[in-house]
Amino acid sequence: MRLGRTLIYVALILIVALALYYVLVVNETGTGEDAVRGPTRSVVALSVPVKTGQQITVDKLVIKSISEDEFSEMMFTDPVQLVGLYSRGAYQIGQVISTTMVVADPTLLLGEMHSDHSAIIPAGMVAFPIPINRFSGVAYGITRGDKINLIATMAFVDLDKNFQTETPNYTGAVIAPGANAIITQNSEHVMDNVDELGVIPSYSSTQVFSETGFQNLVAQTASGEFVSPQGYVDFDSSLGQPLYVLPSEANQRPRIVSQTVLSNRIILNVGDFPLIDENGNVVEIYPVVYDEEGVAIEAPRYPDLVTLIVTPQEAVTLNFLIYSGAQLTLALRSPTDGEVIETNSVSLNYFMNSYSIQVPDKLNYGMDPSIDELAPPELPNGLH
């Protein structure tokens, strides 16, 4: 009996000790979530999502409790401190606001907002796009970070310096005023004394021109269909006399030249950059194509632009070349090759001399059928 009472007393003592521990320790710190988190702090958070540059108003704010160890002195505890400020970025509902997330003047955001790709452009350089196709884009074997040389090919013709038109010029007949003046069939001022050749006798020409208001006329040009291209005089030794030679073709044959205009430049992007909306989401800019059954077709999208990192002066040069009609071609380089290599302009004269190409002699025989233009051989698969 005495042992049983002893065990009962020990059990009662343990129960009382556990009760005291609960009252003094557990009940003091709280239970459930509060017991895990410990002391809390009240901070200001967003009750709705906000966009970059959007003004903060009281209806967009709410008081939120966070644990003491999550609290920072940069957080706001009073909504009044935030009203009238502007969001520095796009934030979601429930986001706790700190001093680095807002600005007092929204124009300051212009110096902070930028795309991800602009951040990797070195200082003093700019990004400039140029058009490409499968040939000029190295068969699409290029990607961001590749090094390239850029070759420009241009065609030149001779111009008349005054007219700024392509030569040869057209020539026209110029007849001195007076008895030899030419009269058109304008019945308003045709005189009765004009002979059958349309020529006014010298004694009446002054009268006609004064009546028509051409007192200052010094010459009259006959043009229209009676024009001829300007040629040059060539002496024919066989005939022993000069001949006036005219061009056999209506236009000049342009003189083509190619040269490297940029060396060792880095590609920033191939094709279009992703279009990002104000919430940071990618916007689809290509139309979706569907087949006959209404299923979306993932058609290949070949790039037609490549963006290069160049100097500001090189950007102006590229802009001029593009608008002048020059053809631009990329040449891919090794990523470990940083040497700037000087090249020579390649024209027909350079090509013939550098590669020792001899112009074929004129012979009294030739191949049949005659070859008027070069054509690649036809291959079995139909490709050239």
Per-residue HEC secondary structure of 190-243 comes to CCCCCCCCCCCCHHHHHHHHHHHCCCCCCCEEECCCCCEECCEEEEECCCCEEE
Looking at every residue in the chain, the average pLDDT score rounds to: 80
- How does residue 175 score in pLDDT terms, banded at 50, 70 and 90? low
Does residue 116 form part of some domain?
no
pLDDT at 6: 63
194 plus 222 within the same structural domain = yes
Q: How many domains does the chain have?
A: 4
The CA R_g of the chain, rounded to the nearest whole Å, is 44
Integer Cα distance of 79 and 85 in angstroms: 11
Q: Does residue 308 lie within any of the structural domains?
A: yes
Residue 17 in this model has a pLDDT that exceeds 70? no
Segment 259-278, tens digit of pLDDT: 999 999 999 999 988 877 76
Residue 264's SS3 state is strand
Query: What is the pTM assigned to this prediction?
Result: 0.65
Contact predicate 45/62, CB 8 Å: yes
Res 178 pLDDT > 60: no
Residue 231 has pLDDT above 70, yes or no: yes
Residues 192 and 272 in one domain: no
Q: Which domain holds residue 30?
A: 2-36
* pLDDT (0 to 100) of residue 213: 44
**Pair 7, 51 in one domain:** no
Q: Is the pLDDT of residue 50 over 70?
A: yes
Are 258 and 346 in the same domain? yes
Model pLDDT, residue 32: 43
- Same domain as 205, residue 62: no
Contact present, 131 and 308 (Cβ < 8 Å): no
Whether residue 232 has pLDDT greater than 50:
yes
Residue 78 lies in a domain: yes
> Does residue 208 share a domain with residue 274?
no
Residue 243 lies in a domain: no
What is the pLDDT, as a whole number, of residue 35? 46
CATH number, domain containing residue 85: 3.90.1210.10
Pinpoint the alpha helices (H) of 220-366: 312-323, 348-354
Percent of the chain whose pLDDT exceeds 70: 74
pLDDT value, residue 203: 42
pLDDT at 283: 75
pLDDT band at residue 210, thresholds of 50, 70 and 90? Answer: very low
Kindly give the residue spans of alpha helices, DSSP state H, lying in the chain.
2-21, 27-29, 32-37, 202-212, 312-323, 348-354
In the predicted structure, residue 253 carries a pLDDT above the cut 80:
yes
Whether 70 is covered by a domain: the verdict is yes
- pLDDT score, position 304: 93
Is residue 359 one of the residues assigned to a domain? no
